[in-house]
Structure 1
């Protein structure tokens, strides 16, 4: 019997006005810092999470950064309501912008985040974000990421909640733009299996 849970389907289709509410399991955010960005490099830095939802990404970011500000275009009871695209933050007002944006708005989030961040931007997206002529022309051709970090294990995302027992057929990766890194071309990296090491019991409360 086919498993048809929201987390399993490789493709998902959301209405144009949907909040695209698929929270990030906290361990996947810790994996970005532990295996891609580096723990020591962010200790004294500030971070903005502009699509924070219920805070499942903001809370693990706060374990590493000196300060984390959070907001979302929709009300979830965690951060203040602020649309990152229509009410942008000041230019170079944060060291990092790290988020899992609505997939249909990810290009706009990247452009806005690169203006807001002083040091770097990290976007969690489906691996297929690499594809499309449109994204090549608007982002990757002139502003390619410094690092494309592919998860070697699956990152299950379920609509409206985090679920420790969920599974998925969808691949995810971190797209990282480092403003200090050599711009000779993107670096391909793999995030090793790390879920068991980076999960915490409180993550699913």
Structure 2
């Protein structure tokens, strides 16, 4: 029997996943950082002090897909609702990401292989795939049955790892 989906696709990002990603990214002075799906702040709470942070969160009445909001940014980091991940990526890429920006989306690796998204990947090829190991646990303890990665588009040359890299939980300081 399939597990029921959690309301509004709310699967909070484990802090070690965010910390591991941030160890790979050079956040520059003056960079504006956006978090399109703030949730309970798991990502925004880990962001460095001193940079402007913009956020959206549907449960707080701020819908990222609403074209009337300003979410323009140099760096975009999010764990999108999987049911709307394509729309979030397209919105970030077409509306919000600076010309020399960097964006990282937490996605299931299986999301890459969909026949329906093949043309999308050709139009928006990513530059980095940062695979999380072990599989993150989003709810209840234990891991998901899916592999996850930060899929990144790094036009700003901020990511300081090879195009394909593994982010290991045990290498993150102060694992959360």
Please give the TM-score of this superposition, normalised by the length of structure 1.
0.72
2:102 is the counterpart of 1:120: yes
**Alignment match, 1:194:** 170
SS in 1 for 2:45: helix
**Compared CA separation, residues 59 and 90, structure 1 to 2 (3 A):** same
**Compared CA separation, residues 47 and 196, structure 1 to 2 (3 A):** closer
Instruction: State the distance in 1 between where 2:102 and 2:172 align.
Output: 27
SS in 1 for 2:34: strand
**Alignment match, 1:85:** 65
Choose from 46, 54, 58 the match for 1:69: 54
Q: What are the within-5 Å matches in structure 2 for residues 46-195 of structure 1?
A: 46-61=32-47, 63=48, 66-75=51-60, 81-87=61-67, 89-90=69-70, 93-114=72-93, 115-118=95-98, 119-138=101-120, 140-158=121-139, 166-168=141-143, 169-181=145-157, 187-194=163-170
**Compared CA separation, residues 65 and 21, structure 1 to 2 (3 A):** farther
Please give the TM-score of this superposition, normalised by the length of structure 2.
0.83
Runs of 5+ consecutive residues of structure 1 not aligned to the other structure: 5-10, 76-80, 201-205
2:5 is the counterpart of 1:14: yes
1:90, distance to aligned residue in structure 2 (A): 4.0
**Compared CA separation, residues 142 and 13, structure 1 to 2 (3 A):** farther
RMSD, aligned CA = 2.6
1:24, distance to aligned residue in structure 2 (A): 0.6
1:67, distance to aligned residue in structure 2 (A): 2.2
1:198, distance to aligned residue in structure 2 (A): 3.8
Contact 1:124-1:175 at 8 Å conserved across structures: yes
**Compared CA separation, residues 24 and 88, structure 1 to 2 (3 A):** farther
**Compared CA separation, residues 174 and 12, structure 1 to 2 (3 A):** farther
Contact 2:15-2:175 at 8 Å conserved across structures: yes
